[in-house]
Amino acid sequence: MTQPKRIAVLGSTGSIGVQTLDIISEYPDRFRASVLVAGSNVDLLVAQSMAHRPDLAIIADCSKYTFLRDSLAGHGIKTACGAEAIADAMELPEIDTVVTATVGYSGLEPTIRAIKAGKDIALANKETLVVAGELVTRLLKESRTKVIPVDSEHSAIYQCLMGEEKRAIRKLIITASGGPFRTKSIDDLKKVTVKDALSHPNWSMGAKITIDSATMLNKAFEIIEARWLFGIDPERIEAVVHPQSIVHSMVEFVDGAIKAQLGLPDMHLPIRYALGDSSRLPTNERGMSIADFSHLDFYKPDTEKFPMINLAYHALKTGGNTACIINAANEIAVAAFLHGQIGYLDIRKVIEHALEEIPFIASPDYNDYVETNAATRAFATSILSSI
Ligand code: NDP
Ligand code: MG
């Protein structure tokens, strides 16, 4: 029998990370967690390590390291801490596939290191492609790494493209639930609270992506992600609002046919598909009964109410470090919104100010992205109190 695939779960304590470990547990003959990486939730990382017995457990927050080391001492699990240790670990021979389920910019460096080491990637961390899509795509061309998307929309498109030729694609159609504020008026949006924004109608996800879904910047990020993953020009990628989140995305072909992938809004499915290397692993989990859905609705997004969707086209047209600026400003603004420092509509203002202030770089290299990210974060932080 072949050995189980050895998986590094980057962000094992988060929403995608926990669901990834569910899938690893569901197929113990096929998969094994060999490296677990968390941000700061050391209690959960210890519990996951005791359950999964990885070769290595890493915590990004070094102030929690002593607890991690002492808790796992004598169990044959190595421990480490900090961003450098995380990036270095991506090259370990004990890894076949890296699941990038960390949130935000922190996914970029380890993903690049995993690509350089030729590891396969199950990509959840869309910010990697938002921040540095051009660079990452270039590195992928020189590497044996295979990327399979985890993001439900991109997994759906990937599945629709099986057996199809790239030149047969007319359009990628990315579905969007519309988030919790789909039916609110522009006036209502001035008054929404953190609790309102965290109440996603269909998906249970980490806080940052839930806020991105409420502003619909998540959909802009997904358009950028699709552009780099599938090599399709932005004018051939469109978003369509589909409140039920049953059709996970679609591809229109040159003969007019449209293929879609349907399923319940449950990330276990795209994670299972990505870990299974695009083969369909049987599961006892309940599927959906199509007859339960008497109608599925689709309509054009309201870009007056959700103008952030258009940032995708702006960023892709302008190129360079533009999307990196948008991402960094958004990370600061979303954290500030979650802490009650700024309002919902201020998130967009922070991004717009950053786009005006931070110098444009047409052909950024890796260090330019690092500097753009740092400069944008500093600038965005400095304007929070006066926004
Ligand atoms: P969560 O906030 O739930 O989890 C984030 C994970 O990253 C946690 O394990 C966290 O650790 C860890 N982390 C945070 N900062 C660092 C760091 N500096 N270094 C290492 N690890 C860190 O996020 P989600 O699971 O919701 O999302 C993860 C990624 O997947 C995002 O890019 C998101 O856009 C994408 N995605 C998520 C979907 C979902 O359904 N949740 C759907 C599609 C895409 P800790 O908690 O220990 O601090
Ligand atoms: Mg998605």
C-alpha angle 320/238/174, rounded to 5°?
A: 105
User: Do residues 234 and 169 touch, judged by C-beta distance below 8 A?
Assistant: no
pLDDT of 337:
98
Is 1's pLDDT higher than 80? Answer: no
Ligand 1 contacts CB of residue 17 (under 6 A)? yes
Residue 43 structure tokens: 């209690």
**Where does a domain end: 256, 278, 309?**
309
Residues 95 and 182 in one domain: no
Secondary structure letter of residue 310 according to DSSP: G
Residues 190 and 238 in one domain: yes
Please name which ligand lies nearest the alpha carbon of 103: 1
Please name which ligand lies nearest the alpha carbon of 200: 1
pLDDT per residue as tens digits for the range 27-39 = 999 999 999 999 9
Residues 180 and 268 in one domain: yes
Whole-number Å distance, alpha carbon 103 to ligand 1 midpoint, is 4
Residues 31 and 135 in one domain: yes
> CA 217, 151, 115, 21 torsion: positive or negative?
positive
- How are strands ordered across the β-sheet holding 31-38? 78-81, 56-59, 31-38, 5-10, 97-100, 120-123, 147-149
Residue ranges making up the domain that contains 141: 5-150
pLDDT per residue as tens digits for the range 174-228 = 999 999 999 999 999 999 999 999 999 998 999 999 999 999 999 999 999 999 9
Mean per-residue pLDDT of the chain: 97
Ligand 1 contacts CB of residue 67 (under 6 A)? no
> CA 240, 243, 245, 246 torsion: positive or negative?
negative
Is 127's pLDDT higher than 80? Answer: yes
Residue 5 structure tokens: 């695939």
Residues 286 and 192 in one domain: yes
Partners of 172 in the β-ladder = 237, 251
pTM of the model: 0.98
User: Do residues 154 and 226 touch, judged by C-beta distance below 8 A?
Assistant: yes
pLDDT of 287:
83
Ligand 1 contacts CB of residue 223 (under 6 A)? no
Residues 159 and 139 in one domain: no
Tell me the C-alpha distance between 117 and 36, whole Å: 18
Residues of the chain above pLDDT 90, percent: 96
Overall average pLDDT of the 145-153 stretch: 98
Overall average pLDDT of the 301-309 stretch: 96
pLDDT of 286:
80
pLDDT of 129:
98
- Rg (alpha carbons) of the chain, rounded to whole number: 20
Residue 314: inside a domain, yes or no? no
Overall average pLDDT of the 71-98 stretch: 98
